[in-house]
Amino acid sequence: MLALTGQELDLWTLVLQSRGIVMVVLVMLALFSVASWYIIAYKYFALRRAHQQSQQFMTTFWNSKRLDAIYKAAEGYLGSPIAQVFRAGYVELSKLKSDKRGEGEKRGEGESDGWLGDMQSIERALERARTAELTHLESMIPFLATTGSAAPFVGLFGTVWGIMNSFRNIGLQKSAGLSTVAPGIAEALVATAIGLMAAIPAVIAYNYFTRRVKVLAAEMETFASDFLNIVKRHFFK
């Protein structure tokens, strides 16, 4: 165990002077922290873009009277999950309409059953798109939860290991004075401090991003219902 002076008991010096398992723990926590901050920055801008483009697309959708024009406009909103849900629904609707024109048949008594099947096809297409977009929005966010829950325990492991070495050093030196105990205990507690520094931002960001994703998921679900109502009203009479 290193014998550090009082002037050397600052955080940075303790980190640099760490050895063995404690240093391994600190490196792991540093990697956790760097990855978490990268994810925080990336998801913040990605979710902000998704929200802004979704609002812009919704304005375009409700102000336009033609679905084909909306479909073309949706190509400019690739960051909007709602726009991608609309594109999936429109493609399925266009395919069904094309099939009907190609068949050129009259349904007669079975017409209502046919319309019901078509509506279910569009609904499934919307649901698949919504699930895919939700999966994309949630990507990397679970790592923040992992960091928030695991980092304090990893830091605690480093602390426990460092304290064990401190007591072993006391036994070897046959001395329990403050000058003998303090450096080792301080070095050990750094691991817990670094663990908390990695975990706290990750937990805050996880809760924030989870709420943002839930809002976007609710907006996608609402839009899918509105789109189905519009299709039913104007195309499946």
B/e letters for 154-188, b = 16+ CB within 10 Å, e = fewer, are bbebbbebbbebbeebbeeeeeeeeebbebbbbbb
Identify the H or E element spanning 110. Answer: none
Which burial class, exposed, middle or buried, applies to 91 when counting CB atoms under 10 A from its CB (0-12, 13-18, 19+)?
Answer: middle
pLDDT value at position 225?
93
pLDDT at 17: 62
Q: Global pTM?
A: 0.80
- Residue-level pLDDT at 164: 77
**pLDDT for res 129:** 95
Predicted confidence at residue 227, as pLDDT, reads 93
Phi/psi at 10 (nearest 5 deg)?
-100, 165
Report the pLDDT value the prediction gives residue 6, as an integer from 0 to 100: 46
Structural contact between residues 145 and 207, judged by C-beta atoms closer than 8 angstroms: no
CA distance 87 to 46: 20
Please say whether the beta carbons of 78 and 52 come within 8 A: no
Nearest alpha carbon to residue 32 among 150, 137, 142:
150
pLDDT at 237: 58
What are the residue boundaries of the structural domains of the chain, listed by start? 11-103+110-234
Distance CA 114, CA 109 (A): 10
- Residue-level pLDDT at 160: 83
Q: What pLDDT score was predicted for residue 131?
A: 95
- The one-digit pLDDT tens for each residue of the chain (237 residues) are 444 444 455 655 666 566 667 788 888 999 999 999 999 999 999 999 999 999 999 999 999 888 999 999 999 999 999 999 999 999 999 888 776 655 554 544 445 555 667 788 899 999 999 999 999 999 999 999 999 999 999 988 888 877 877 777 677 666 666 666 666 677 777 888 889 999 999 999 999 999 999 999 999 999 999 999 988 887 665
